[in-house]
Structure 1
Amino acid sequence: MTAHATEPRLEFVQCLDALDLHKMAYWEWGERDNPHVLVCVHGLSRQGRDFDTLARALSSRYRVVCPDVVGRGRSDWLTDPLGYQVPAYVADMVTLIARLNAHHVDWVGTSMGGLIGMGLASLHNTPIRKLVLNDVGPRIQPEALARIGEYLGLPMRFKDLDEAAEYLASISAGFGKFTHEQWLELTRPMLKAVDDSPGLQLHYDPAIGVPFKAMSPEAAALAEQMLWQRYDSIHCQTLLLRGADSDLLTRETAEEMTRRGPKAHLHEFAGVGHAPMFVADNQVAVVRDFLLGTA
């Protein structure tokens, strides 16, 4: 497979959790021996194929690796749903980077993937060289969390791809405008066949919502404090992307992130909420220019 392939390789790495071992899937683009590695990590209920367009655009310059965070996509589901937590995901990414034999990586993280990136980038001797945070920061609006909680983990079943795409579009208006074919491409990897019956279901463990829905206001306030501490410990070059209509990352929080910690460079995309999906050419260009040093 060449660096210009239109489809990725599917690989797996074994990781340790509190109770057992689990396999984490990852989608790999570009040359296996390319020392320049880009890790792209998706949002809470999504999966690694969200980055197909971005990966195709960058696979001639990078070995692009897009994991399915445990509980999503082709990765295993955890025995204990309380294991679906950001610190555990950070540990899985450390295992992944060791598997890749990468001394340094660049990182693009959407929403939850950005929180994982913040956690890893804040550590001493972090492997992250450049960090892209896509519509996420230490302070997350409770209204957005409530909106996500309304659909996260629901046992949805669909008769076909079109019905599933219509549903996912209804809960993902913030992603922006797409052609019908683009939206189908974003939807297909989100689905899997239902065992022993016709139809399709979402390709994630409904139990990923257990820790999310168990979060109390007090725990959320403590988590925000800890996330700011993590953010203030980051020293790598950081690009902060924000959908101008985002209900999760406010402009106030984004501007604070330009003054604290790594003093992120902020770029907003008009006509987008939570979160930009790197399908539009202008979104890909902003990330490419930052990562390749032309911005």
Structure 2
Amino acid sequence: MQYDQGFSDFFYTAPDGLRLHARVYGEANSGLWPVVCLPGLTRNARDFHELALHLSRQEKNPRKVIAFDYRGRGQSAYDPDVGHYNVGVEAGDILAGLAGLGIEQAAFIGTSRGGLIIHVLGAMRPAVLKAIVLNDIGPVIEVEGLAHISSYLERTPKPKTSAAAIDAQRRAHGDDFAALTEADWERMVSAIYRETEAGLVPDFDQNLVDTLVGLDFTKPLPDLWPQFEALAAVPLLAIRGGNSKLLSAATLEEMRKRHPGMEAITVIGQGHAPFLETGGLPDTIAAFLDRAEQQVQAK
């Protein structure tokens, strides 16, 4: 284990043979629900580093945390078939990784695409979901938000230095993330780029951009209300960025109505998607997980 970094690397084989990667924080089995962290479309396990350290090092209730790199992201192998970059295949990859780790049930934290994968897991294997945190994602994806992501990915900055990368990210997203500090922007850049001899490069397969080609951004996207309603018995915390273009306030309110036990918070000064290591979010998430586990055990 890489004790200085607080995690170990776990490599496993996907159902179709691709070599995939996850980070495992907190090796000891505390008897509490482990936590599975699922990132956004082009993001990777590094997005959850600070949160994973926080959850795995809680004095009273330390939890094992597994943060996944989907195929084509981070340290997972790139897929030669771009058609495999879809939430169904990726959900199957997550289940394969959990099987390799001997984990049958867990709490799940999903940012953006990660939340969509949670909806799919609820249909594929509902028993695996013990509690859910949805970070700026819900059953309805606003076309404006997805169009914004698609446009950004098509012109992904390719800076040579960290300073240039921070400047590019701030220019692209600064209006939506006024609450971020310089340290926050630095962590963001270290998470989404990797260093090469030629300089920094985005740490994902550029073919992922092709998965958004052909979408008609003038029409509403199919919703996932049936899949969301199937999660009604699972403790749920929904987090929305106050400036989010992907998850609307109206959708969040409708989620409350359809999941009466759902807890929800809006993060002021952040857009899509809030940084889960900022402000009081780590403590909020830890407390939610403890509360959810206690409630389930009391039934």
TM-score, normalising length from structure 2? Answer: 0.87
Which residue number in structure 1 is paired with residue 257 of structure 2? 259
Segments of 5+ residues of structure 2 without an aligned counterpart are none
1:59 and 2:61 aligned: no
CA distance in 1, matches of 2:277, 2:20: 25
Q: Do the aligned partners of 1:153 and 1:207 also contact (CA within 8 Å) in 2?
A: no
Q: Do the aligned partners of residues 181 and 155 (structure 1) sit closer, same or farther apart at CA in structure 2, a change above 3 Å counting?
A: closer
Q: Do the aligned partners of residues 182 and 31 (structure 1) sit closer, same or farther apart at CA in structure 2, a change above 3 Å counting?
A: same
Which deviations, in whole Å up to 9, do the C-alpha atoms of 1:153-208 show, x marking residues without a partner? 546432211112222233333355333233222212322244xx522211100111
Which residue number in structure 2 is paired with residue 90 of structure 1? 91
Which residue number in structure 2 is paired with residue 15 of structure 1? 14
Which residue number in structure 2 is paired with residue 145 of structure 1? 146
CA distance in 1, matches of 2:260, 2:103: 23
Which deviations, in whole Å up to 9, do the C-alpha atoms of 1:225-270 show, x marking residues without a partner? xx11111111311111111221111111011111115752221112
How many Å apart are 1:100 and its aligned residue? 1.5
SS of the aligned residue for 1:27 comes to: strand
SS of the aligned residue for 1:293 comes to: helix
1:183 and 2:185 aligned: yes
CA distance in 2, matches of 1:92, 1:32: 24
CA distance in 1, matches of 2:158, 2:37: 28
Q: Tell me which of 14, 26, 29 is aligned to 1:33.
A: 29
How many Å apart are 1:13 and its aligned residue? 1.4
Q: Do the aligned partners of 1:5 and 1:30 also contact (CA within 8 Å) in 2?
A: no
Q: Do the aligned partners of 2:143 and 2:218 also contact (CA within 8 Å) in 1?
A: no
Q: Do the aligned partners of residues 108 and 151 (structure 1) sit closer, same or farther apart at CA in structure 2, a change above 3 Å counting?
A: same
Q: Do the aligned partners of residues 111 and 175 (structure 1) sit closer, same or farther apart at CA in structure 2, a change above 3 Å counting?
A: farther
Q: Letter of the aligned partner of 1:215 in structure 2?
A: L
1:170 and 2:171 aligned: yes
**Structural mapping, 1:204-283, within 5 Å:** 204-216=204-216, 221=221, 223-224=222-223, 227-234=224-231, 235-261=233-259, 263-283=261-281
TM-score, normalising length from structure 1? Answer: 0.88
Q: Do the aligned partners of 1:49 and 1:186 also contact (CA within 8 Å) in 2?
A: no
CA distance in 2, matches of 1:219, 1:209: 20
CA distance in 2, matches of 1:198, 1:186: 20
In angstroms, what is the RMSD of aligned CA positions?
A: 2.4
**Could you tell which deviates more after superposition, 131-140 or 266-275?**
266-275
Which deviations, in whole Å up to 9, do the C-alpha atoms of 1:32-77 show, x marking residues without a partner? 4344310111111211111111111110311111111111111111
Segments of 5+ residues of structure 1 without an aligned counterpart are none
Q: Do the aligned partners of 1:145 and 1:248 also contact (CA within 8 Å) in 2?
A: yes
